[in-house]
């Protein structure tokens, strides 16, 4: 049984296709071939094993290998075909009156090299060009329907934080507490998957860590890493017991109906040292100052540079967004169907903010051997500035 009530309507997908076709026309690309699951879902409404060909002009064609029946039920696109393999693509396109492309757009940031080489044999006369930046810019500006779904995810994130406040207790291990919090998130409708675009990056719900364990760096593109359960995971919760008087970081992504909201809150059992409370207050001040600067037309990199200046003014240069040589060079990121969407509020990023972009701001302070404090909220860029979507208490929550 297919859950058609949650399907993406054609009225939502059509303008996405039109924006992609406009980008193809501007670049002189004959058509784009979409494979990556998130892009496929965005432009077709399904993530079944399929590929979508979007010509620069005319209707797209969805070609599904597994499961074509489900793809047809989930996607509102009219032109669909069941295929046994990639080699049938040219036949299907010809049947729909679409000429072989001379300039073919591909998601070169994510498709495997073997697939790229196979496509070179199927389209031997085509020059393959990267369409990923155009796709990511299109996806960065959300529709009203997408914003409504992100608002729903933000409400879920707030409810997860509220649950965590009641579940934290002295002596419980990080991973045991994480299991309780994640079970509640699942009960609230969390889809379980948190998708990321960057190659070889992965995340399970998020990070729940306490004290010194939270300040352990990892491979993940994040200011926090975690001691983790083993080197096979190398991030997130460990079996370490949570103690009184240390910061407990709950940095979770709520994911529902495909869309995400990112959210960090700090808890402590009994209380927290004044210097850590002061650092947390500084992070809140930085967040508020950045919110005053975020508006359409501002370069994403300017927000990051401002965050560095604000952290330095407060004496936290050595702790802001990491410690020692492990600091990351961003203070926020776009969010939507994936956790790492455009725009990146990062060093040297020139992309201009636009109304309809959704960004997670996450000023955090990392203190080796002591822990992490700070904040993260999901925000909507509007014509007049910014609207905060996640709203749970932002001060350190003493339990």
Model confidence pLDDT, tens digit, residues 304-332: 999 999 999 999 999 999 998 889 999 99
Separation CA 266–CA 248 (nearest Å): 6
Domains and CATH numbers, the chain: 4-138 (3.40.350.10), 141-398 (3.90.230.10)
Q: How does strand 248-256 pair with strand 206-210?
A: antiparallel
Residue indicated by tokens 């784009």: 32
Distance of CA 167 to the CA centre of its chain: 27
359 and 334 Cβ atoms separated by less than 8 Å: yes
- Provide the pLDDT for residue 4: 55
* Upstream peptide bond of 343 is cis (omega within 30 degrees of 0): yes
- Provide the pLDDT for residue 325: 84
- Provide the pLDDT for residue 5: 56
- Provide the pLDDT for residue 3: 54
Q: Which residues of the chain have pLDDT under 70?
A: 1-5
Q: Token pair for residue 159?
A: 């409810």
Separation CA 109–CA 114 (nearest Å): 13
- Provide the pLDDT for residue 188: 98
What three-state secondary structure class fits 332?
Answer: strand
Separation CA 167–CA 162 (nearest Å): 9
Separation CA 346–CA 305 (nearest Å): 8
- Provide the pLDDT for residue 6: 76
Q: What is the DSSP-derived secondary structure letter of residue 76?
A: -
Q: Percent of the chain, pLDDT > 70?
A: 99
Nearest to 38 by CA among 196, 155, 203, 148: 196
Distance of CA 343 to the CA centre of its chain: 11
Separation CA 105–CA 111 (nearest Å): 12
Q: Residue 33 forms beta bridges with which residues?
A: 53, 106
Separation CA 393–CA 228 (nearest Å): 27
Separation CA 299–CA 261 (nearest Å): 23
What is the secondary structure of 3-35 as a DSSP string?
Answer: -GGGPPPHHHHHHHHHHHHHHHHHHT-SEEEE-
**Number of residues written out for the chain:** 399
Residue indicated by tokens 């934290």: 168
């Amino acid at each position: 049984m297919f859950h058609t009530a949650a399907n993406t309507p054609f009225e939502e997908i059509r303008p996405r296709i039109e924006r992609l076709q406009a980008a193809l026309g501007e670049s002189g690309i004959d058509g784009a071939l979409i494979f990556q699951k998130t892009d496929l879902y965005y432009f077709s409404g399904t993530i079944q094993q399929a590929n979508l060909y979007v010509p620069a002009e005319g209707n797209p064609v969805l070609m599904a290998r597994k499961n074509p029946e489900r793809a047809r039920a989930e996607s509102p696109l009219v032109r669909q075909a069941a295929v046994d393999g990639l080699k049938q693509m040219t036949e299907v396109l010809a049947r729909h009156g679409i000429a072989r492309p001379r300039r073919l757009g591909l998601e070169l940031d994510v498709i495997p090299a073997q697939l790229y080489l196979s496509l070179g044999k199927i389209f031997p006369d085509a020059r393959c060009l990267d369409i990923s930046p155009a796709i990511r810019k299109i996806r960065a500006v959300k529709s009203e329907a997408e914003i409504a779904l992100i608002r729903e995810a933000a409400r879920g994130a707030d409810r997860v934080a509220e649950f965590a406040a009641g579940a934290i207790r002295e002596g419980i291990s990080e991973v045991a507490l994480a299991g309780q919090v994640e079970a509640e998130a699942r009960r609230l409708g969390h889809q379980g998957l948190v998708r990321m675009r960057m190659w070889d990056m992965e995340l399970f719900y998020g990070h729940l860590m306490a004290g010194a364990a939270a300040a352990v760096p990892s491979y993940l593109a994040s200011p926090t890493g975690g001691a983790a359960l083993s080197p096979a995971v190398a991030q997130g919760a460990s079996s370490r017991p949570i103690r009184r008087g240390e910061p407990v970081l709950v940095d979770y992504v709520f994911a529902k109906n495909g869309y995400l909201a990112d959210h960090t809150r700090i808890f402590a059992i009994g209380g927290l040292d004044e210097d850590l409370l002061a650092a947390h207050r500084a992070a809140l001040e930085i967040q508020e100052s950045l919110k005053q600067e975020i508006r359409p037309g501002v370069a994403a990199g300017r927000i990051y540079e401002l965050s560095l200046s604000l952290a330095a003014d407060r004496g936290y240069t050595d702790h802001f967004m990491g410690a020692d040589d492990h600091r990351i060079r961003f203070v926020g990121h776009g969010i939507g169907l994936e956790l790492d969407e455009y725009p990146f509020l990062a060093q040297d990023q020139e992309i201009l903010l636009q109304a309809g972009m959704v960004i997670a701001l996450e000023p955090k302070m990392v203190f080796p051997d002591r822990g992490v404090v700070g904040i993260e909220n999901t925000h909507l860029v509007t014509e007049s500035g910014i609207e905060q979507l996640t709203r749970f208490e932002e001060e350190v929550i003493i339990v």
